Amino acid sequence: MERYWELKIQLPNAENQKVVNEYLLSLKVANRSFYTINNYRIFYQTFFKEEKASYAALTSDHIQKWLIQNDTGLKKNSIKFHISALSTFYKFCVEEEYIKKSPIKKRWYPRAEKPIPKYLTKEETSKIRRLLEDLPLRDRVIFEFTLTSGCRIGEVHRLDKADIDFENRTTRVGGKGKKIRQVHFSEMTALLLERYLQSRKDDHPALFVTHKEPPTRLSANWVGRSMRNLGEKAELPGSLHPHRLRHTFATVLLAKGADIMFIADELGHSDIKTTQIYARLPKQQIISMYRKYMG
């Protein structure tokens, strides 16, 4: 049987040959897949094929220089694999007490890109709105307000009736770090909100309250659970949580051509870099969204 786990070339340094083969054999004994072992073997042949110095004598700077020279232009996954292969090899050497410390640094790994936020499509939003027609008016208002204001759930939970300015369709919200900002909401939200407040028979200062007597301020957890249940009824892909409405608010503004600084102000982001994640949406996706929302 072919000893596929062994190096297929003769390395310039015999010690490197011996220890690398030991490590590859340990992967075989650990029942790692042929695919994994073969990929590791090919990489070690590439890394050590011109290396005359012993693996134990290689410094962090020397290894990093090799990675920079040889990994330029590669995809992040390939770079991560190379660093991981070296890291696990040197970890083996430490465990076997061949060396005292690994020269591989965690900071070399490429940073993972933040995932593009999940938002609701126009069709999904319409589906939820149809479901909300059979639910209490309060629930419909919370959905529309959160969707068209871009507020965080904690900000919605803390709102008082006195914070609402119907004339300008704005409200004061207390964001992170106790920062107060003005946010806007849609005309439809304003109409629903007026109807909701007119239907209330209590004098509780909170904007959104429970239906029990006496009413209390709705908790952020209750709103979160209500959103998840709504998403399940709508059979949406993925969970419907309040922050998904915030993502939808931002991506719709982007699709409509809003400036990123304006979006940052509306969301209450103190660092523009936080908002720029929305600008990473593929251009064609933005065009498609614009056509769906604007015609």
pLDDT of residue 24: 96
pLDDT at residue 8 is higher than 90: yes
For residues 178 and 214, the answer to whether their CB atoms sit within 8 Å is no
Domain limits, the chain = 14-108, 122-294
For residue 17, give Cα distances in angstroms to 9, 10, 13, 200. 9, 7, 7, 80
Of 274 and 119, more confident: 119
Mean pLDDT value of segment 276-285: 63
pLDDT at residue 272 is higher than 80: no
CB 179: neighbour CB atoms within 10 A?
10
Q: How confident is the model at residue 290 (pLDDT cuts 50, 70, 90)?
A: very low
Q: How confident is the model at residue 255 (pLDDT cuts 50, 70, 90)?
A: confident
Mean pLDDT value of segment 188-193: 94
Mean pLDDT value of segment 72-84: 90
Give the mean pLDDT of the chain: 88
CATH entry, 122-294, from 3.40.50.300, 1.10.443.10, 3.30.1330.40, 3.40.50.800: 1.10.443.10
pLDDT at residue 231 is higher than 60: yes
- How far, in Å, CA of 213 to CA of 226, rounded? 20
- Domain 14-108 in CATH 1.10.150.130? The answer is yes
pLDDT of residue 3: 86
Q: How confident is the model at residue 162 (pLDDT cuts 50, 70, 90)?
A: very high
